[in-house]
Structure 1
Amino acid sequence: MFVTSAATAACGTTVFKFGLNSAAGQGLLSIAITALSARRSVVLEIASTGCTGWGTTLRSITLTTRPAT
């Protein structure tokens, strides 16, 4: 699954990815959909593999209380 951030973030890209073949990936999808529908900002955490540019793998997505911009 690929997600796009509204602004260029870490790793010089706006496109990040995570797999859906694990419970963690399904949790990330749930948080991403919740953030989108609630129009809330998120904090993206990069996986331990580090930055790889376009399609960098995410470790976590954290929902914030800030409205999306």
Structure 2
Amino acid sequence: MRSEKHKGYTLWGHAILQQKESSQRERYAASGTITLDNKVVEASGVLGEFGTEDEAELAGLRWARAWVDSFN
């Protein structure tokens, strides 16, 4: 999980390891959460699957930034 501050909100990018069969590469589902004063303002559903934890977390943060920017 990765976080950052943006326009007074705290944004969270999540990477959720997907179950895999032994022959498959690891995949991570991405999601994002937006909080303000330690309260959840909005949360995404699954934003897609990515090959690395880092890519998934960044996708969650991009979604959260775009959500905040669309309202501010």
* TM-score for both structures, normalised by structure 1: 0.29
Q: Which structure: larger Rg?
A: 2
